[in-house]
Amino acid sequence: MTPLVRSIEASGSHWRWTLNGIEGLGLKVEPEFTERMEFTHQEQIVFAHDPPEGANERASVEGVYDFVPVGTHSTELKVDLTLAVNLPLLRLSRPAVESIMHTSMRLTGQRFASNLYTQLGLDPDDVDIAELPVPKR
């Protein structure tokens, strides 16, 4: 359902995520990371980076999915995720890397939404999408 995700292996509350490659600046990064997933039934999913002891994971996700009832037959999904990747690049590359990451995440979010609508049998024209601006550093 999410184009950036290649696979997820669940082991209790810990999930090992493997992403498809993100390319840019002459690099292709295929991050793998472990998240502790916390579920509050019909309310929230929390992602917290929690690698196994001794593991040196160079990528992580922190964030939350909030499910907010809107009327009797609708739910608002609020997604707030931060993806971090430690790359072997000079600090001067940071603006270009952030631009590539923001574009990749935005496109992934749009594709996730489209796939979710299809899965739920919704018409995308009947769904409101609000994208928040990328925070400035």
The answer to whether residue 137 is domain-embedded is no
Number of domains in the chain: 1
The answer to whether residue 131 is domain-embedded is no
- SS3 letters for the chain? CCCCEEEEEEECCEEEEEECCEEECCEEECCEEEEEEEEECCCEEEEEECCCCCCCCCEEEEEEEEEEEECCCEEEEEEEEEEEECCCCCHHHHHHHHHHHHHHHHHHHHHHHHHHHHHHCCCHHHCCCCCCCCCCC
pLDDT digits 0-9 by tens, 53-91: 999 998 999 999 999 998 888 888 888 888 888 887 778
The answer to whether residue 133 is domain-embedded is no
The answer to whether residue 130 is domain-embedded is no
The answer to whether residue 116 is domain-embedded is yes
The answer to whether residue 25 is domain-embedded is yes
CATH of the domain at 106: 3.30.530.20
- Domain of 96, in residue numbers: 5-125
pLDDT category at 94 given cuts 50, 70, 90 is: confident
Please state the pTM of the whole predicted model.
0.77
What average pLDDT does the segment 36-51 reach? 95
